[in-house]
Amino acid sequence: MGIIFHESTKTFHLFNDTISYIMMVLENGHLGQLYCGKTIRDREDFSHLLEVYSRVMSPSIYDDRHFSLENIKQEYPVYGSSDFRHPAIEVLQENGSYISDFVYQSHQIMKGKPVLKGLPATYVEEDAEADTLIVTLKDELTGVVLELSYTIFAESGVIARNARVVNEGEKTVFLNRVMSLSLDLPDCDYDWIQLSGAWARERNPITRKLTKGVQAVESMRGHSSAQQNPFMMLKRPSTDEFKGEAMGFSFVYSGNFQIQAEVDAYEVTRVLVGIHPEHFCWKLEQGCSFQSPEAVMVYSDQGLNGVSQTFHKLYRHRLARGIWRDQARPILINNWEATYFDFTEEKLLKIASKAKECGVELFVLDDGWFGKRTHERAGLGDWVVNPDRLACGIDGLSEKIEALGLKFGLWFEPEMVNKDSDLYREHPDWILSVPGRHASQGRFQYVLDFSRKEVVDRIYEMMSKILRESRLSYIKWDMNRSITECFSNGYPADQQGEIFHRYILGVYDLYERLTSEFPHVLFESCASGGARFDPGMLYYAPQAWTSDDTDAVERVKIQYGTSMCYPISSIGSHVSITPNHQLNRNTPLHTRANVAYFGTFGYELDLNQLTEEELEEVKEQIQFMKKYRDIIQDGTFYRLQSPFDCSDAAWMVVSHDQKTAIIGWYRTLNRVNESYTRIYPKGLNPEFCYKNSITGVSAYGDELMYAGMSTSDSSSGADMPEIKELMGEDYASRVYVLSAE
């Protein structure tokens, strides 16, 4: 790995064994993009890759027509001085002009990776893990300075970027957009993959051909959203899950975002990743700076799985932090679907005792324990226990739960307030809303103005008091509505364009304070399920409630899509009761567990409602998860067969020593007189002989990977009544463990 600067050609080459990223200072002082892809050998001069040709009708910078920004691949383009594509930055100046001209000044190459203050970002533990280049450019007329930061990680095809803007001029400017990443690719022969959805069906992958014009995913909801995830992948048309070139773009941010690809007339593709420019306007006074969040780009020639595995490793080990980062996640039981708001201490303790009997490790008390919160219309904002429900308080309940031998976890929704709450009655101006206008509600609640420090301080006080006084090992941090009427009473008119971003900074600030003061607490983020499942959250909370949809069949799709970017250790997944509360569907208990294993694993039901036989099954499931969770949560994950392509889906994880592989196989509807079916496991050691836990058949890794592993069951005529797993049924599933003998 290294970063080379060729003085004679003013060329930067960032490279490791997987990727080369090359750019140069152009004739006009801007930064040009030369190459981004598989590693190529270094040379002094790559300028021929720039393709600076003159085209009729293109305005040019100089008077000989040879240099038009419209036709040049750039690193951090501006609009309006011969480039008409969407820019990376727009600086509005006192005279109303938004034209700027960022010219190279200097650069710095350093070991390691600087910290982004106040923002989530990937990090290194040793300087040798990454190198960073910071290129400084300046717009002479305004004195606005731009620092573009590029970090290349040693081990994989990762480049992390951010931009910092400093006003060294004399006049205030307004930043209308500051994207975190801009990349011009020389062609558009790509398929675009995005993760889209809605409540209860988050992150379904959608693939389409990249085409001329602009295509984008974005959120303007104030949070990253269930509708679109801040992630996008470009793959070559021939690339599949296992081979071929692909590039993933991920934004380490939890608020409004935009990820866009613009294909121009000559099929050059410009990728932009950053804070959504709509409703964003940052006032930058003399001497002040603005720091963009981080965008991460991953390149792989090992197909989509190659990109995903790179993200998994990076985000699990160098984005998530704290003592929980590397630990197996506790198997939890959450009371939400078991009781909703209808609980008493006695009921909770009964659920907890049965859970303990089955081997569960952590009991989580969900919504409804505080203020007047016996229903959705009251209590949010009053983070003090409701003594009518829990006479012995959270401290008392947590002691009782711990006495049962379980850890105790608690639900909060720190960013919200109900009008029926003491907090709102005391501070009605603390919600985001426009004076004189109606304030829209969502689930009968309002969004607290986290752009104001005093608001964050107050919530911090209430939460930290409970954390100090009780035995809390876990917090589920929920967020159940999007932001409307985004306006803060704490800021003047010319700073209202900052509020969406300042709100998220306030959320990060509260997370930072709580996670550093209570490092032993495991945080799980949540937003009506997976409406804020993004890398920004993972920096503070190493796991996230993936979806409110706990139906096994739907969860295969949701978890399959989520795995495109996010590590298995981050995927909150529970076994719930049937008929399922979201879909009214009945799936077998083992199928619900077989899906939930590929995540953090837990239960979301009252185990007292199960039969003795089912309870025995639950005990076995928990034993299974305890035995294999290290491998599942930290192994190498492969998507094998997509639930979106056919009714059979499969995925697997392989341990680092390749001695154990765990395959999850799922079928929606049973079939009759079916063809033979098989899957092709990946990542095995060809030399190892693996025993199949279901069929008992032993086979070498090469045979399994190349000849395939049969998944045929009774629906294909496999007549093995002694193997109950091979009896076909609707919503069938199997977990095969392949163990090297």
Residue numbers annotated as active site: 478, 548
Closer by beta carbon to ligand DGJ, 367 or else 554: 367
Closer by beta carbon to ligand DGJ, 314 or else 338: 338
Q: Read off φ and ψ for residue 318, nearest 5 degrees.
A: -130, 20
Compute the least distance from the CB of residue 637 to ligand DGJ, in Å.
Answer: 24
Compute the least distance from the CB of residue 329 to ligand DGJ, in Å.
Answer: 17
Closer by beta carbon to ligand DGJ, 475 or else 640: 475
Residues that bind ligand DGJ (CB under 6 A): 336, 366-367, 411, 478, 480, 526, 528-529, 545, 548
Compute the least distance from the CB of residue 356 to ligand DGJ, in Å.
Answer: 22
Residues 418 and 228: their CA atoms lie apart, in Å, by 27
In the DSSP assignment, the letter for residue 534 is S
Write down the H helix ranges in 188-302: none
Compute the least distance from the CB of residue 368 to ligand DGJ, in Å.
Answer: 8
Residues 198 and 221: their CA atoms lie apart, in Å, by 13
Q: Which of 477, 461, 530 is nearest to 223 (CA)?
A: 530
Please, are residues 310 and 158 in contact by the beta-carbon 8 Å criterion?
Answer: yes
Q: What is the CA radius of gyration of the chain?
A: 27
Please, are residues 74 and 32 in contact by the beta-carbon 8 Å criterion?
Answer: yes
For the stretch 106-141, what's the b/e string if a residue is b when 16 or more beta carbons lie within 10 angstroms of its beta carbon? ebebeebbeebeebbbbbbeeeebbbbbbbbbbbee
Compute the least distance from the CB of residue 459 to ligand DGJ, in Å.
Answer: 17
Closer by beta carbon to ligand DGJ, 336 or else 601: 336
Please, are residues 251 and 273 in contact by the beta-carbon 8 Å criterion?
Answer: yes
Closer by beta carbon to ligand DGJ, 137 or else 410: 410
Closer by beta carbon to ligand DGJ, 475 or else 663: 475
Q: Which residue is nearest to ligand DGJ (CB)?
A: 367
> Which residues is 594 bridged to in the sheet?
none
Residues 535 and 180: their CA atoms lie apart, in Å, by 14
Instruction: Report the SS3 class of residue 151.
Output: strand
The dihedral formed by the CA atoms of 308, 310, 313 and 319, expressed in degrees to the nearest 10:
-90
Compute the least distance from the CB of residue 342 to ligand DGJ, in Å.
Answer: 13
Kind plus residue range of the DSSP H or E element containing 728: none
The burial of 490, by beta-carbon neighbours within 10 Å (0-12 exposed, 13-18 middle, 19 or more buried), is given as: middle
Kind plus residue range of the DSSP H or E element containing 192: strand 191-196
Compute the least distance from the CB of residue 411 to ligand DGJ, in Å.
Answer: 6
Closer by beta carbon to ligand DGJ, 308 or else 480: 480
